[in-house]
């Protein structure tokens, strides 16, 4: 990245607010432009190794990055801001989709909840009598 920034003279103060990646006209790279570049290089990779890489979209990359951030234990507020979501509820989808994060949350809750063991129902004659009446 540093080499790219230097080669494109984006390291000088007057250009620090310029777009990092641009289209051939020097304008902001659009969503369809990113899709085009991604598809072009996936096609090249498939041709070069005579293989099949599935179609990868910008949204797929975005989703993957969000999942990696969740797996790394980053705060959902920061992930929301990174993704540009307006609401944290939108970002919580990533936390719900991660079984490892759910497991860790349940383990944490289990250690916090120090509930006594439930008594054996066989030791309760009143409960046994009630159940026989059903």
| Residue 115, pLDDT score | 60
**Whole-prediction pTM value?**
0.56
116 pLDDT band, cuts 50/70/90, is low
From 28-37, 46-55, 70-79, 125-134, the region with the lowest mean pLDDT = 46-55
Q: How far is CA 64 from CA 26, 69, 76, 77, 128, in A?
A: 28, 9, 15, 17, 54
Q: What pLDDT digit, counting tens, does each position of 16-62 carry?
A: 888 888 988 989 889 899 999 999 988 888 888 777 777 788 888 88
Q: Where are the beta strands (DSSP E) in the chain?
A: none
**Beta bridge partner(s), residue 28:** 22
| Residue 36, pLDDT score | 92
101 pLDDT band, cuts 50/70/90, is low
| Residue 81, pLDDT score | 92
């Amino acid at each position: 990245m540093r080499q790219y920034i230097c080669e494109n003279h984006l390291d000088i103060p007057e250009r620090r607010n310029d777009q990092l990646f641009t289209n051939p006209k020097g304008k902001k790279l659009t969503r369809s432009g990113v899709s085009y570049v991604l598809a072009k290089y996936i096609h090249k990779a498939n041709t070069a190794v005579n293989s099949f890489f599935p179609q990868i979209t910008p949204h797929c990359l975005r989703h993957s990055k969000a999942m990696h951030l969740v797996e790394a234990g980053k705060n959902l507020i920061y992930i929301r801001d990174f993704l540009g979501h307006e609401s944290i509820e939108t970002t919580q989808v990533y936390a719900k989709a991660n079984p490892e994060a759910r497991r860790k949350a349940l383990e944490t809750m289990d250690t916090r909840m120090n509930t006594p063991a439930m008594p054996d129902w066989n030791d309760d004659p009143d409960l046994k009598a009630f159940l026989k009446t059903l």
